Amino acid sequence: MYFSQKTKLNAILKYQNGGLISDLMRKYQIKGSVTIYEWLRKLEQFGISGLNRPKVKTRLDYSFKRKVLNWHLKTKSSFLKTAKQFRIRTPAQI
The tens digit of pLDDT for each residue in 37-80 reads: 999 999 998 899 889 877 767 778 899 999 999 999 999 999 98
Nearest to 68 by CA among 50, 56, 80: 80
- 11's CB contacts (< 8 A; 6+ apart) are 3, 24, 27, 28, 30, 36, 39
pTM: 0.65
Residue 84: its pLDDT value, please?
Answer: 87
Q: Positive or negative, the Cα torsion across 30, 50, 59, 55?
A: positive
For residues 42 and 87, give the distance between their C-alpha atoms in angstroms, rounded to a whole number: 10
**Domain ranges within the chain, ordered by starting residue:** 5-51, 62-93
pLDDT at 46: 87
Identity of residue 75: T
